[in-house]
């Protein structure tokens, strides 16, 4: 198992995981654009030649924002998300970020628990932020310095 930067060969696998993990999935084109992004970093957790999980973080000035964390549903509860969160936190620190923020569906209790276990705290709520289905978004943040 290794965590590494997104490569072109990963795009189709990530697009597939997007479709099965998110109701608002990103397209292959959007994922491909991450390959050349100056601000965004997609970290891929690979095991046995397949993408098992991935995370996408953007660093802007001294703040990081996590856009995606997803794991193959058949590989959940194995610590993959925690490993990715640790890798994204280390990446953010290395890029000089003082804080990391993220947003999560209010009803996604497993993700909220993961984020809390990694040091994130709930900081606010965005009413009806998500659609399909409609749901509030919970803002979570963590100070790095």
Which parts of the chain sit beneath pLDDT 70? none
Instruction: List residues bridging with 59 in a β-sheet.
Output: 64
Q: What pLDDT shows up at residue 75?
A: 82
CA 21 to chain centre: 12
For domain 2-143, give its CATH number from 3.90.1200.10, 3.40.50.620, 3.40.50.970, 3.40.630.30: 3.40.630.30
Q: What pLDDT shows up at residue 9?
A: 96
Strand boundaries in 33-92, DSSP class E: 40-47, 50-60, 63-71
Give pTM, 2 decimals. 0.92
DSSP 81: H
CA 91 to chain centre: 13
Q: What pLDDT shows up at residue 109?
A: 93
Q: What pLDDT shows up at residue 91?
A: 96
């Amino acid at each position: 198992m290794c965590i590494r930067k997104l490569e072109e060969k990963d795009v189709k696998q990530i697009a597939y995981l997007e479709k099965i993990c998110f109701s608002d999935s990103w397209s292959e084109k959007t994922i491909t654009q991450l390959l050349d992004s100056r601000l965004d970093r997609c970290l891929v957790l690979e095991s046995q030649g397949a993408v098992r999980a991935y995370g996408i973080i953007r660093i802007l000035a001294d703040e990081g924002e996590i856009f995606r964390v997803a794991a193959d549903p058949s590989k959940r509860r194995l610590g993959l998300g925690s490993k990715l969160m640790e890798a994204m936190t280390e990446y953010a620190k290395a890029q000089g970020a003082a804080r990391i923020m993220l947003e999560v569906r209010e009803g996604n209790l497993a993700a909220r628990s993961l984020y809390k276990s990694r040091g994130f705290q709930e900081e606010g709520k965005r009413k009806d932020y998500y659609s399909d289905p409609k749901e509030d978004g919970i803002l979570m943040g963590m100070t790095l310095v």
